Amino acid sequence: MINKRRTKKRKSKIFKIIEEHINQNIKEYAISVLVFFIGIIIGVMLLNSSNPENQKSISGYINEFTSSIKNKEYKIDQKKLLIKSISSNLKIAIMIWIAGSTIIGIPLVYGCLGYKGICIGYSISAIIATMEKAKGIIFALSSMLLQNIIAIPCILALTVSSIKIHKSIMKEHNKEHIKSEIYRHTMFSIIMTIGLFISSLIEIFISTNVTSNIIINFI
């Protein structure tokens, strides 16, 4: 009973810290979410505006992939995919962290966030365009939802932290204060990067298996 109470108190403290953090940076989060959704819309538009040959090539790749899964011809190299996923997330995290300390930091930070949105929007649009609408939505959700529940909030939080450190560097002239802010930003970025690492593990060891089962049984 005592352990349960302690666990509940810890959870409530964590939720309070997160709530306070969001409330203190609500404007930055609102702008970041807007940029992310604009990225998704651009991703959808990019696919829709691409030439028929490109769309046919993407559809052919998706159909070939689903067919190979159904026929059990495709073997998932989890190690290779995990390295690729971690590398991709790590690159975004590092770019956002570095961008926060440059003169043109904010556009670069939003650029990284927007790029993530474009990738997601393009992928979802390609899947739905290739399959029947219902099957496409199920496929997109099974392959992208679980890991992005963690990844997207982490990237948004990294974006906001980078914006804050950029503003602090531009306004503050006290070197000691700047150092402490950079240290805070770095520690926060490391925590968010761990979250991205967890999202990669979920993507490879859970989402890929769920997607394979859905393709075999429903698509």
Q: What does the pLDDT look like over 13-55, one tens digit per residue? A: 667 767 777 888 899 999 999 999 999 999 999 988 888 888 8
Q: Pinpoint the alpha helices (H) of 50-174.
A: 52-70, 78-99, 105-130, 133-171
Give yes or no for residue 77 having a pLDDT over 90: no
For residue 109, the model assigns a pLDDT of 87
Rounded to two decimals, what is the model's pTM?
0.86
For residue 161, count CB atoms less than 10 angstroms from its CB and return exposed for 0-12, middle for 13-18, buried for 19 or more: buried
For residue 23, the model assigns a pLDDT of 83
